[in-house]
Structure 1
Amino acid sequence: MNGLDGMRTVVTGAGGAIGRAVVRRLVEEGARVAAFDVKPPELDGVACAVGADVTDEADLARAVAEASDALGGIDALVAMAGIHASAPTHELDLATFRRVLDVSAVGTFLSAKAVLPGMLAQGNGRILTFGSTAAVRAAPGLTAYAAAKGAVLQITRSIAVEYADRGIRANCICPGGVETPLLSAIDAERTGPDHFKERHPIGRYSKPEEIASAVAFLLSDDSSFVLGAAVMVDGGYSAS
Structure 2
Amino acid sequence: MTFPVETVRVTSQLFPPHVQQALDLIGIFVFALSGGLLAVRKNMDIFGIAVLAEATALGGGVMRDLVIGATPVVAFTNLGYFVTPLVAATVVFFLHPEVERINRSVQTLDAMGLGLFCVTGTVKAHDYGLGSVAAVALGMLTAAGGGVIRDVLAQEMPSLLRWDREIYAVPALVGSSMVVVLIAAGHLTTATATASALTAFVLRVLALKYGWRAPRAWHRNGSRTSEE
TM-score by length of 2: 0.31
Higher helix share: 2
**Structure of higher CA gyration radius:** 2
TM-score by length of 1: 0.30
